[in-house]
Amino acid sequence: MGVLKKLIGLHRILFCAAALLTVAASAANLWWNSFLADVLDMLGAPGRPGMSALLPGILAGGTAILLALAAGDYLSFYAASYTCELSAHEMRMGYARYYLRGDSRMLAGCSAGEEQSAMQNELKDISAYLNESLFSIMKQFVAFAATAVFLAVKSPRLALLSTLPAVPLMLYCFVSGRTIKAYAERCMEYQKKINGLADVLLSMFPVIQVYDAQWLVMGLVEERLSEWGRASVRKERIAARLMSLSGLLSFLPLLCLLGFGGRMVIAGEISTGTFYLFVNLSGNVSGFLQNMPGVYAGFRQFGASMGRLERKLVFEEGRGGEGRNGARRNGAGLSREGRNGVGRDGVERSGAGRNRAGRNRAGRME
């Protein structure tokens, strides 16, 4: 997770802004639900004034919340995406800097194709996680925490009754998530082999053509593909069955809520508005608990991908982005000598003494 820490360190303000906007969007959502419960209670209250009297107040409140919700959603989504994209850019540049700083002997042993493919796959996974999950998890967590507190304040008993069935479901999701992951990992292994084969095929293409080795290669391709195909079918089949069962189990908290909550309404312990609020919001709590194993597994996988990349990402100390501290190419009028030692690209250069080369170039270049 060192990479994530560094990325957050590089764009502290952006990350904070995105997090704050996420919290604000969740707060607006709770505000809307609370308003809705009040409206329902108001409408269901015996001897309430006519709709024409209530309408202006309800409309004004509803419009204000609607605008806040829309703005909150847009801003939080965009801020999160911008932060994640900037982080992905930093990582790509970190990858590039790693190769620039790499030892020639190590680089001579690298296959450019393999490295490119690894970069594309690994960074794609990480940036997809950043974009689709990091802030989304934060949003879910904020919604979960705020909703749990909110519902517990409204009716602790019903909150507990509607949340408890989600706990065994969470355990089930944990176990099924691990099973699916094990299958997925096996699949990934075979996938890697296919990628490696594709790389060999492309780099050896002229040789394959000249020696008419297509059928030899194709035999290898078919063998690897059928291995991967079998693993992939197994994984998909298991995932479909386990996830379907999880969908069925996720009905349990709702059924409990409807059964127990309905009794409480009839007993006059809670209002219909509050009951409706629970029906609307309990999904935030039970859904989060249900997703937790997946979230945890996703986060661990993200951590592992980050860990793998850690040695391959070189960040500029004290700044983000690339080449901001140096002269722009052909623009600043600095000669080659002028830039030696500056480290425009982040490659350390010593500014050791000038000699004949320095003199010559000074005369020639500028």
Write out the binding residues for other proteins, residues 110-129 only, by CB under 8 A.
110, 112-113, 115-117, 119-121, 124
Shortest reach from residue 163's CB to other proteins, in Å: 17
Shortest reach from residue 154's CB to other proteins, in Å: 17
Contact pick of 201, 287, 297, 301 for other proteins (by CB under 8 A): 201
Residues in 42-101 that interact with other proteins by CB under 8 A: 43-44, 50-51, 55, 58-59, 62, 65-66, 69-71, 73-74, 77-78, 81-82, 85-86, 88-89, 92-93, 95-97, 99-100
Residues in 3-42 that interact with other proteins by CB under 8 A: 32, 36, 39-40
Closest Cα to residue 299, out of 1, 82, 2? 1
199 binds other proteins (CB under 8 A): yes
Residues in 325-354 that interact with other proteins by CB under 8 A: 326, 329-330, 332-336, 339-340, 344-350, 352
Q: Which is nearer to other proteins, 81 or 301 (CB)?
A: 81
Residues in 208-237 that interact with other proteins by CB under 8 A: 208-209, 214, 217-218, 221-222, 225-226, 228-229, 232-233, 235-237
Are 199 and 111 in contact by the 8 Å Cβ rule? The answer is: yes
Shortest reach from residue 228's CB to other proteins, in Å: 6
Binding track over 263-282 against other proteins, x by CB under 8 A: x-xxx----x--xx--x---
Shortest reach from residue 68's CB to other proteins, in Å: 10
175 binds other proteins (CB under 8 A): no
